[in-house]
Structure 1
């Protein structure tokens, strides 16, 4: 600062600053707006102490407002005669330009007169400046002006915007908005959005202190424009027309809604028309008519629901009265609910009435299906002769009959569930443990390639609550699988969230002629042997025995014929199975037998015998000469044999566990005499994996890695260990 002060001529001060951090300046707080950056300024103060005048030119290259950084900000700010003037202030982000000009007069009755203009701006930028979020994927280019004029306590405003290129989700749009605000009332002079097909328009007056009258309409729209608004996953088909009217006061609003969808639905499942007529008055949402029509099959709904549109909440204690009726409805409507249904046929009849309150609903009516057929995508076995009779009684949903034919056998479902209020104030379905839902199967063949093609008998019980995480759905029972093959696929599991299901002793029993296929190796499961599934979907536990058929095991150039082998799991042992295996190989005239037994990995006993009889060193030397590896005698042949055999025995189990956990890789290594090592991995992108390896020594060690497996056996990896050291390695692995 430099200049003069004279009692006669007044002030003459020049001021300047460079790199002034706005965090060091006490700025007036504007709501939750955060302003950061460094500014350069130069200016002059003139006039007298009683009536000074200030003119400042300011600029910044890193001005940030609510985490939104501008490429440049510059402008002139003046203060004189108790009036603040912006002359103007210009903000830029790329090709976006925002300009503010005008004045604020701080007289006895303060007045404001500001004009803001935007050229090539973005809706997302304006929302970021305001610290607001729409909650819907709407963005676009904006041009226009906004003016504010009048007393600070009650100014008049005008907003004129054009959106030449916008998008709602993946739907392009263009539109314009012309709004005015005066005396607490917003008047919609003109509001229109044009989509690729159809338009949305609005007009009217919304008065914060009096009567309102607003109408919003949409005509000839693609039904799919609702998908980004309601976050539907599947594309919607059809044409949408609607009209919504708002009237009444802010304290007692009245809403009216008329909707018509023609030729709507999703790919593979469409309906002819959907008509909805509803209004809201005195705290009740009245559905005058809801009618879904598909080839003459109709679903009708009507009634009233206590709903507050302002808070978007239901009134838990107010009475409700709702009714749904089915007139000649077909099961094909199931395809509207899920893309897992490939085809569905059969007549559906029934009604559902809901009374009581939202907190304590009372159900009535029933649902009946006779002779239905349903095909599930990915399952070759159709559900045939479906017979269903469900009774709604008070807060109970009772399955009076549910049976179907599957692959020549019969499946039957019995039980009931109760509708109750969840701790989160939502609704939940609960099934008491003393009266569980029971699924029974008799001679049912299920063909779901490539995983299952076998016959099943048995029963499964289900209880718990759907909608209350404290009481997850729990299942137990006994299933016998026979006459077929269960296949463990080698690829990564499909996407999906793990369902909150708890296993309380679900027993899988191997029947006759049942095999487990893993790649080219086929494991026959011991008849009457069983695997017991406990734990949860996120952390399952196995208890049982897996047996292997004859197969070849190649170690160090020697091929052993694995004549028998098994891995027995116990929950107390975790991933440490009890191993038993027998393999033989022929080296010239000598037959060598290998027996393995014990608990993997550190309590295994290996016994090598030969015919004619040789000592252990002689057998090892013979194996070394057969493989052509000179240093075999100094190596750990027994350890390598143990590792290969346990790998073959455990492969189906670890792959099955990995798929259940949603992993791309789960392996247990038993190499030489080293401790147990568990590796889990997940496919991120094609050939790009993230893995975590834990070595169970006296003090467990872990290692994280990002691996690019660009060819079989080849990988490039970045690894970080427990000590924090980062290493990069180029790796090739092969079996000998």
Structure 2
């Protein structure tokens, strides 16, 4: 009912809307109760249902003056709200809102409080509370706090919804978790990464291509099973370019630093270096089972487009390896270009004995892993070596001595290598841990031919007898694949504590897969 002169009319009554829409938004049910007031529209109460959400309001509207409304909303689904605002948000949850509307009909000003006890961002759960406002087409966040345990993430700034949404936001992190931040960002590292984060992340520009600045500190971090320690980072991300102003990690042993620019669309230039680093820090990248030991120094530089970069590395490690199997010194000088890793010099030293590697390995440019089907060229050479080098293969071998010479040239591919070379030794001696009896007068004569290792002669004295072997070992992907060996033992004295002690005479054949060979023949104990 409308009563009185039009300029100061009062309105009273009830307005009902069923299964309609307001401003393009579907409304299941809406009802407004108006009470008379001269010159203004007074809403005694208004209620609307959209899906499972309830919106309610009360107050006055002066067509020629100010707005004075109180409003609220319950059970609002964040996904539905983001669609209505035209802003894509990778989050789910149920919101409760309350606040006031002031300003005028033409330029309303909205303020309010927001809470979401079950906010979920890519599997990470938070409780959210804070203040917000909306005026002139801009959504203002005034300290929206996300809490997860003892961690706090405080978001402030402005979001401009619309066909081309943009934002100017700052996220202050206090006692945050690295694993939480990575999970919410949809980033999966090669090994579990966690630690405590503090600092600020600033975001600005269009939401489909924003700029960001990260200034963060890291404490008590772990990467896989390895303790990273503390770190600091200062990064700027702009139009798919990352400018690394500062990136440092200080684990319990050594330090890692990086500086430069990574450009996904143009040329990059980055240097990464490490000093006195425990090599075990790198173990998660290579998915090795055993812990690494030693001290590692390296400098890695890469430049050019990410799809085809050029890179160079200089590496030096001391006492490096796994427990019981360590080289005194490892050095390498190599560079990468056009899908190939060129090893200008690679050296493994154990005392005066050396293994030298020179050549080219193929690299799959899409994954930066070795390409098993592309051609390779590699030369391995023993220099001033003796059998003590075998301790680098297994700690079960000790007290090894005896001259050894060898050289292998590798061509073909990793999957199907073409080998040429030899390995020879005479007068050797060693102990193998499971066998109490020493192995003496060890003679080795191996020939590398195509994809086979031809065992021309392999013999040793064990106790009062002798064991001999000859045959062929097939190689695929740089690993033994098949065997065809004949083994003969005559009056060999075997002493394996807890298993057998006595004399062995045998004539057996090993055939089939190298990992599970078939053994046939005769053995007398």
- Quick check: 1:289 aligned with 2:339? no
TM-score by length of 2: 0.80
**Runs (5+) with no aligned partner, structure 1:** 421-425, 467-471, 483-736
Cα distance in 2 for partners of 1:481, 1:85 equals 88
Cα distance in 1 for partners of 2:88, 2:459 equals 62
- Quick check: 1:14 aligned with 2:71? yes
* Paired position in structure 1 for 2:153: 98
Superposition deviation, residue 278 in structure 1: 0.5
Matching of residues 621-700 of structure 1 within 5 Å: none
Check whether the contact 1:263–1:273 (CA below 8 A) recurs between aligned residues.
yes
What are the superposed Cα offsets for residues 673-715 of structure 1, whole Å, 9 maximum, x if unpaired? Answer: xxxxxxxxxxxxxxxxxxxxxxxxxxxxxxxxxxxxxxxxxxx
Give the secondary-structure state (helix, strand or coil) at the position aligned to 2:469: strand
Check whether the contact 1:462–1:473 (CA below 8 A) recurs between aligned residues.
no
* Paired position in structure 2 for 1:398: 454
Change (3 A) 1:130 1:109: closer
Check whether the contact 1:33–1:130 (CA below 8 A) recurs between aligned residues.
no
* Paired position in structure 1 for 2:407: 351
**Cα root mean square deviation, aligned:** 3.0
Give the secondary-structure state (helix, strand or coil) at the position aligned to 2:388: helix
Check whether the contact 1:456–1:479 (CA below 8 A) recurs between aligned residues.
no
What are the superposed Cα offsets for residues 622-678 of structure 1, whole Å, 9 maximum, x if unpaired? Answer: xxxxxxxxxxxxxxxxxxxxxxxxxxxxxxxxxxxxxxxxxxxxxxxxxxxxxxxxx
* Paired position in structure 2 for 1:440: 488
Give the secondary-structure state (helix, strand or coil) at the position aligned to 1:124: helix
What are the superposed Cα offsets for residues 530-556 of structure 1, whole Å, 9 maximum, x if unpaired? Answer: xxxxxxxxxxxxxxxxxxxxxxxxxxx
* Paired position in structure 2 for 1:217: 273
Check whether the contact 1:187–1:206 (CA below 8 A) recurs between aligned residues.
yes
Give the secondary-structure state (helix, strand or coil) at the position aligned to 1:329: coil
Cα distance in 2 for partners of 1:476, 1:30 equals 69
- Quick check: 1:86 aligned with 2:134? no
Change (3 A) 1:128 1:6: same
Cα distance in 2 for partners of 1:288, 1:108 equals 55
Give the secondary-structure state (helix, strand or coil) at the position aligned to 1:63: strand
Change (3 A) 1:383 1:78: farther
Superposition deviation, residue 119 in structure 1: 0.8
- Quick check: 1:480 aligned with 2:523? yes
What are the superposed Cα offsets for residues 110-130 of structure 1, whole Å, 9 maximum, x if unpaired? Answer: 432111111111211212222
Give the secondary-structure state (helix, strand or coil) at the position aligned to 2:403: strand
Count of residues paired in the alignment:
465
Give the secondary-structure state (helix, strand or coil) at the position aligned to 1:129: helix
Change (3 A) 1:454 1:137: farther
Matching of residues 317-336 of structure 1 within 5 Å: 317-336=373-392
Change (3 A) 1:11 1:346: farther
Cα distance in 1 for partners of 2:173, 2:76 equals 27
Give the secondary-structure state (helix, strand or coil) at the position aligned to 1:477: strand
- Quick check: 1:257 aligned with 2:300? no
Cα distance in 2 for partners of 1:329, 1:385 equals 17
TM-score by length of 1: 0.58
- Quick check: 1:362 aligned with 2:418? yes
* Paired position in structure 1 for 2:18: none
Check whether the contact 1:16–1:43 (CA below 8 A) recurs between aligned residues.
no
Bigger share in strand: 2
* Paired position in structure 2 for 1:174: 230
Check whether the contact 2:277–2:295 (CA below 8 A) recurs between aligned residues.
yes
Cα distance in 1 for partners of 2:106, 2:276 equals 66
Superposition deviation, residue 58 in structure 1: 2.5
Check whether the contact 2:147–2:153 (CA below 8 A) recurs between aligned residues.
yes
Check whether the contact 2:177–2:196 (CA below 8 A) recurs between aligned residues.
yes
* Paired position in structure 1 for 2:121: 65
Give the secondary-structure state (helix, strand or coil) at the position aligned to 2:385: strand
- Quick check: 1:280 aligned with 2:336? yes
Change (3 A) 1:360 1:31: farther
Superposition deviation, residue 300 in structure 1: 0.5
- Quick check: 1:431 aligned with 2:482? yes
Give the secondary-structure state (helix, strand or coil) at the position aligned to 1:378: coil
Check whether the contact 1:112–1:148 (CA below 8 A) recurs between aligned residues.
yes
Give the secondary-structure state (helix, strand or coil) at the position aligned to 2:204: strand
What are the superposed Cα offsets for residues 58-106 of structure 1, whole Å, 9 maximum, x if unpaired? Answer: 3234434333333x32122333322222222211222211111111223
Check whether the contact 1:390–1:399 (CA below 8 A) recurs between aligned residues.
yes
Check whether the contact 2:229–2:249 (CA below 8 A) recurs between aligned residues.
yes
What are the superposed Cα offsets for residues 179-203 of structure 1, whole Å, 9 maximum, x if unpaired? Answer: 1123432211111112333221111
What are the superposed Cα offsets for residues 580-611 of structure 1, whole Å, 9 maximum, x if unpaired? Answer: xxxxxxxxxxxxxxxxxxxxxxxxxxxxxxxx
What are the superposed Cα offsets for residues 474-512 of structure 1, whole Å, 9 maximum, x if unpaired? Answer: 413244353xxxxxxxxxxxxxxxxxxxxxxxxxxxxxx
Cα distance in 2 for partners of 1:89, 1:363 equals 65
* Paired position in structure 1 for 2:92: 35
* Paired position in structure 1 for 2:512: 464
Residue in structure 2 matching 1:388, options 429, 434, 444: 444
Cα distance in 1 for partners of 2:406, 2:419 equals 13
Cα distance in 2 for partners of 1:234, 1:313 equals 21
What are the superposed Cα offsets for residues 307-359 of structure 1, whole Å, 9 maximum, x if unpaired? Answer: 03541344455332111101122222222232333443222211111112344
Cα distance in 1 for partners of 2:436, 2:288 equals 28
Change (3 A) 1:404 1:53: farther
Superposition deviation, residue 172 in structure 1: 4.8
Does 323-332 or 170-179 show the bigger shift? 170-179
Change (3 A) 1:156 1:21: closer
Change (3 A) 1:115 1:396: same
* Paired position in structure 1 for 2:295: 239
Residue in structure 2 matching 1:450, options 494, 498, 502: 498
- Quick check: 1:124 aligned with 2:179? yes
* Paired position in structure 2 for 1:157: 212
Change (3 A) 1:26 1:80: closer
Check whether the contact 1:273–1:293 (CA below 8 A) recurs between aligned residues.
yes
Change (3 A) 1:77 1:335: farther
* Paired position in structure 1 for 2:35: none
Give the secondary-structure state (helix, strand or coil) at the position aligned to 1:441: strand
Matching of residues 698-713 of structure 1 within 5 Å: none
Check whether the contact 1:341–1:376 (CA below 8 A) recurs between aligned residues.
yes
What are the superposed Cα offsets for residues 127-160 of structure 1, whole Å, 9 maximum, x if unpaired? Answer: 2222332123542211111111234454332110
Superposition deviation, residue 427 in structure 1: 5.9
Change (3 A) 1:413 1:339: same
